[in-house]
Amino acid sequence: MSSAKQAAGQRKNRVLLVDDNMTNLQVLFQALEQEGYELLVAQSGEEALEIAAEAQPDLILLDINMPGIDGYQTCVKLKQSERTRASVVVFLSARGDTADKVKGLEIGAVDYIDKPFQFEEVLARVRKHLELHARERQLEQINEELEARLGEGFRDLIDEDVERLIGAGESDDLEFKSTLRWNLHSNKSDKRIENACLKTVAAYLNSGGGMLMVGVDDDGKPLGLDADKFPNEDKMLLHLNTLILNHLGGEFAQLIKAAIYSVQDQRVLVVQCMDSAEPVFFRRDNDEYFYVRTGPATAALSPSEVIAYLKGR
């Protein structure tokens, strides 16, 4: 099964063939019927608009020269309708004029197939545009889900809120780290300390969200941020952002909000993490790991456990 067909969900990809010439329709039908598409046929622009509004095809192969409303007019009406504007339009034309092709692209078509038809070209172009269409729909769905989660919003915290959270202690969705990068035992910057923070962030993204606080020891005592030896707080936030981009992925940055608060005369970094619809992998030094929260702890899953976990989400 092609990626385009998989992405289309339970139904087959739906293709509408529009041409006033029955011979042309038969040629197109023969070229595409073995691909497993659901094929629909119209012999005029008016008929095409009616069928498209009802069936909402994924792709429309649309002849330009037709009696009544021509292909250009039909395309304009398709793109004006909420029910059909998402359908991919590919023009069919015996014209070779560049101006005609530019006009078609300007009104919403994505491509041209010249007459007389070549089976291989028809198949290749239809496959390509259906695959692109499926990716676009998948991206739209991801963006809608992201907007829905972002609409719930990050917590609007003030210093007193952070102090109360620290007082309640660590939990499934709250973890303390003394530093972001500095090893207090060796007294130097240590990527293992960075990794520990990033593992927690990745686990929260994979497990419904949570909050990491840096500058707080395991007992809930605010230590402040001086131990990390950044020249200023902006540099610390920039360093955290760079770590996220490099080792988790920039596509997840919108699900993470970092800010610094004052607690008991100390400054504390709070990293809020929202739930990610896509799996988040921690990558460093050519290794890749998948982390989740198991109670108040972070755990790495084996490849088989990752597969089982993602299937169960």
For the stretch 154-195, pLDDT in tens is 888 899 999 999 998 999 999 999 999 999 999 999 999 999
Express each pLDDT in 12-30 by its tens digit: 899 999 999 999 999 999 8
pLDDT higher than threshold 50 for residue 68:
yes
How many CB atoms sit inside 10 A of residue 236's CB? 22
Model confidence at 140, pLDDT cuts 50, 70, 90, reads confident
Confidence of residue 143 (pLDDT cuts 50, 70, 90): low
Give exposure, 203-227, as e/b (b: 16+ Cβ within 10 Å).
Answer: bbbbbebbbbbbbbeeeeebbbbeb
**Tens digits of residue pLDDT in 71-123:** 999 999 999 999 999 999 999 987 666 777 788 889 999 999 988 888 899 99
Pick 100 or 47 by higher pLDDT: 47
pLDDT at 69: 94
Please compute the mean of the pLDDT values over residues 185-207 and round it to a whole number: 96
pLDDT for 1: 34
**Out of 42-56, 142-156, 230-244, least confident range:** 142-156
Angle formed at CA 53 by CA 49 and CA 58, multiple of 5 degrees:
95
The answer to whether residues 309 and 280 touch, using CB atoms and an 8 Å cutoff, is: no
CB atoms within 10 A of CB 125: 17
Q: What is the pLDDT of residue 142?
A: 63
Report the C-alpha gap between 94 and 110 in whole angstroms.
17
Residues 222-255 pLDDT 10s: 999 999 999 999 999 999 999 999 999 999 999 9
5 pLDDT more than 50? no
Round to whole Å and give the CA distance between 58 and 38. 10
Question: Are 24 and 115 in contact, with CB atoms under 8 Å apart?
Answer: yes
- Each residue of 252-295: pLDDT tens digit? 999 999 999 999 999 999 999 999 989 999 999 989 999 999 88
| Tokens 């530093």, residue located | 179
- List CB contacts of 76: < 8 A, sequence separation 6 or more: 107, 108
The alpha carbon torsion through 29, 33, 35, 41 (nearest 10 deg) reads: 50
- In the predicted structure, residue 11 carries a pLDDT above the cut 90: no
Please report the pLDDT score of residue 101 as a whole number: 79
CA separation for the pair 218, 169 (Å, rounded): 8
- Structural domains of the chain in order of their starting residue, each with its CATH number: 3-146 (3.40.50.2300), 154-312 (3.30.950.30)
Report the Cα 150 to chain-centroid distance in Å.
14
CA distance 203 to 296: 11
Over 80: is that where the pLDDT of 148 sits? no
pLDDT number for residue 16: 97
